[in-house]
Amino acid sequence: MTFRDIFSLPEFRALYLSGLVNIIGDYLSRAAVTALVYQQSQSVLLSAASFAITYVPWLFGPLLSALADRYPYRLTMIASDLVRMVLIAVLLVPGLPTAVILVLLFVAGLAAPPARSARSALLPLLVGRDGVALAVATNQTSNQAAQVIGYMAGATLAVALTPRIALGIDVLTFALSAALVAFGIRRRPTTVARSERTHLLRETSEGFQAVFGDRVLRSITIVVYTVTVFAIVPEGLAAAWAAEGTPNPEAQAFDQGMIMAAGPLGFVIGGILFNRFVPAARRVRLIPVLAVIVPLLLVPTVVSPPAVIVGLLVMLGGLAQGALLPTLNATFVLALPQSFRARGFGVVNSGMQLAQFSAVMVTGWLADHFRLPLVVGLWSIGGTVVMLLAAIFWPRPVEFAEAADRAAAADQPGAAPPAREPTTSVTRKPS
């Protein structure tokens, strides 16, 4: 399947565009609010907290994502967009205290887990199993490009005008996203029939069991968590990093936007090149190598290079992520039965968001007490060591194929629930 094939599908185009406008609005407002808090408080920790507040709702992500398997994916996405549109619109009221703004952002963020999980679970139904890898790569690469636009525009608006303009744009993106889904995607039944429902907590637990009870899914999840822990730090600390480098406000805005946008820009380049020129089987074999490269590239920040060098290192790390994460995502989709996809993605996305939140908060606290470049450099050294250990115990390629076959068999009408691997599978020798 080619790019032309997947974009010839009207429903995929609607899903793709709705996600794209959502990402632009979210990251535009995130960059603006992060800069505003740092300008007011001059605290790295509070600036990091304003960046990280949108990750906190993912603490409830697995539970909220279970709703996406209970209700039609289309309805879940529309309802989530409309809820967030209304709550973000309240932020446009003048004079709201910073604390109230952060609370509203948190509450609005509770609608993100079911929406994102429904979007991920719906994708294979639109493009088929053969088109999943290309569709995932297209979505993730485009989303990173949208982050570049959002970050640069948000940082600029925060200095030149007001963050409320960015929030107003975010409101419009939610309205447009809901309209695209409502008019561009047809109704489908739920993947879990009402007669098969038990209890939301039990269904959430089944999502954890589906992910962590399988060696392949478990390995993918651990690597995704670890990559995000060590790759997100430059973005979260960008405002403070830029302020340390120059007293000029315009230069600070440029440096902040450059550092925040460098990773997504690299992701776009890596995603396009890797998925265009590297065969699928080789992509899977290169996963352990790419996983080690991501944190390794940020180790030189320990010597306090100028902002342009930081941006270059972050971009190279983003390039490695662009090669790595779409491959992991597509492999995860194919190894997970349809009836567990929303819950499985809820588990992974929640872990990613909470890992990012923890990483930004911890490094933000450390940077309030030690030199920021030293913190990032030592953090990256730790990440390189962890990734080396993950690479040693990475599953063999044949295990990925077996997991995909099990999931495909489970998706057949009348199939029994997929059997998980026996616990003795964890003793297999690494490749």
Q: In whole angstroms, what is the distance from residue 37 CA to residue 35 CA?
A: 6
pLDDT at 422: 40
pLDDT at 181: 93
Q: Tokens 């194919």 map to which residue?
A: 334
Q: In whole angstroms, what is the distance from residue 292 CA to residue 385 CA?
A: 8
Q: What kind and span of H or E run contains 392?
A: helix 372-392
**For residue 198, which phi and psi values (nearest 5 degrees)?**
-120, -95
pLDDT at 40: 65
- Residue-wise over 9-31: b if at least 16 C-beta within 10 A, else e? bebbbbbbbbbbbbbbbbbbbbb
Of the candidates 277, 287, 329, 319, the residue with the CA atom closest to the CA atom of residue 144: 319
Q: In whole angstroms, what is the distance from residue 324 CA to residue 391 CA?
A: 13
- DSSP annotation of 431 reads -
- DSSP annotation of 96 reads -
What Cα–Cα distance (Å) separates residue 306 from each residue in 3, 250, 254? 39, 16, 13
| pLDDT tens, the chain, 431 aa long | 667 778 888 999 999 999 888 888 777 777 767 766 666 666 767 666 776 777 778 778 777 777 777 788 889 999 999 998 998 888 777 777 777 777 887 888 888 888 888 888 888 888 877 777 778 778 777 777 777 777 667 666 655 566 677 778 888 889 999 999 999 998 887 765 555 556 667 777 777 787 787 888 888 888 888 888 888 888 777 777 777 766 676 677 777 778 877 887 888 888 778 877 887 778 778 888 999 999 999 899 888 888 888 889 989 988 888 888 888 887 887 787 766 777 777 788 778 877 877 888 788 888 888 888 888 889 889 889 988 988 888 888 777 777 777 777 765 655 544 444 443 333 333 33
pLDDT at 426: 34
- DSSP annotation of 2 reads -
pLDDT at 250: 67
DSSP structure string for 116-176? HHHHHHHHHHHH-GGGHHHHHHHHHHHHHHHHHHHHHHHHHHHHHS-HHHHHHHHHHHHHH
pLDDT at 179: 94
Helix locations, 187-304, DSSP H: 200-212, 215-231, 233-236, 238-245, 249-277, 280-285, 287-296
Please give the CATH number for the structural domain made up of 3-412.
1.20.1250.20
pLDDT at 421: 47
How is the chain split into domains, by residue range?
A: 3-412
Q: What kind and span of H or E run contains 178?
A: helix 163-184
pLDDT at 423: 38
Q: What kind and span of H or E run contains 315?
A: helix 307-334
Of the candidates 55, 39, 38, the residue with the CA atom closest to the CA atom of residue 47: 38
**231 contacts 293 by C-beta, under 8 angstroms:** no
Confidence (pTM): 0.68
* Longest Cα separation, the chain: 66
